[in-house]
Amino acid sequence: MSDAANFVEIDWLGRAVRVETRWVAPEKSAVRLLVFLHEGLGSVAMWKDFPQRLCAAVGCRGLVYSRPGYGRSTPREPDETWGPDFMHRQAFEVLPALLEALRIDEPVWLFGHSDGGSIALLYAARFPQRVAGAVVLAPHIMVEDLSVQSIAAARKTYLETDLRERLGAYHDDPDSPFWGWNRIWLAPEFRNWSIEKEIESIVCPLLALQGARDEYGTMKQIQGIAQAVAQAELVELPDCGHSPQRDQPDLLIAAVTRFMQQHNPGDPP
């Protein structure tokens, strides 16, 4: 993955917003494009070299971006609060606007982690003709007590340790992603959030993976995906927490490579 970040401007929330992007193997223009969607505290930089490793193994090119409020993208406004539909807005507004700005009109593969996995599911359900396939890691389709407990613990850690300073290495304004994400997940009105019915319209190949020791969700998340999407394949990763790309990268790459090559991602669009 190139060390140089590029910025794309989109119109969102009534203002111009810049989105940080990086490309992996852009010269492979005749193969499928894999779009990476990061977690609730993620960014382009927090993926580290994983997108490059995965794209090399699969034989595809990649697009990595930081959502507005994250990384080097335009930070969240101080008075901007995220509602229970914040992931829907990313899937239905921001991602389509980004792909349009980049003039990407081919069906893409989606690779989403955590909140990014939920966004990938929502996009695949709403825009089936635009998605060739999807891989989701530790996605959320409902709110579990375990998730709320761990996110509450993250709030305490952010306030009482050097977590804010450490996140500053990956975000221009670490308060922007942290409080945007943390406050809505802990809000009482978010407890009934669910996308279980919405994802029933997904028709693309779908691989859902979950760490056996995920501190933010249980196997019920991907089991619920299998109940809603008949063609979904599930993988439970042993000795793995919420971030398979960090805890079990080799197992993850092997599983994703097998799945994607089975569905011919290297074929010309």
Residue 197 backbone zone (phi > 0: left; psi -120 to 50: alpha; other: beta): alpha
Q: What is the pLDDT of residues 43-54, one digit of tens each?
A: 999 999 999 999
Confidence of residue 139 (pLDDT cuts 50, 70, 90): very high
At residue 4, the pLDDT reads 59
- Average pLDDT of the segment spanning 35-40: 97
- Average pLDDT of the segment spanning 214-223: 95
Count the Cβ atoms, other than its own, within 10 Å of residue 200. 12
State whether residue 1 is helix, strand or coil: coil
At residue 3, the pLDDT reads 47
User: pTM (2 decimals)?
Assistant: 0.95
Q: Which fold has domain 6-262?
A: Rossmann fold (3.40.50)
The residue type at 261: Q
- DSSP codes joined into one string, 63-93: EEEEPTTSTTSPPPPTT----TTHHHHIIII
At residue 268, the pLDDT reads 43
Q: What share of the chain in percent tops pLDDT 90?
A: 88
CA distances from 199 to 41, 91, 145, 211 (A): 24, 12, 22, 21
At residue 25, the pLDDT reads 87
264: pLDDT strictly greater than 90: no
Q: What is the pLDDT of residues 47-89, one digit of tens each?
A: 999 999 999 999 999 999 999 999 999 999 888 899 999 999 9
The answer to whether 60 touches 34, Cβ cutoff 8 Å, is yes
How many Å apart are CA 11 and CA 235, to the nearest integer?
38
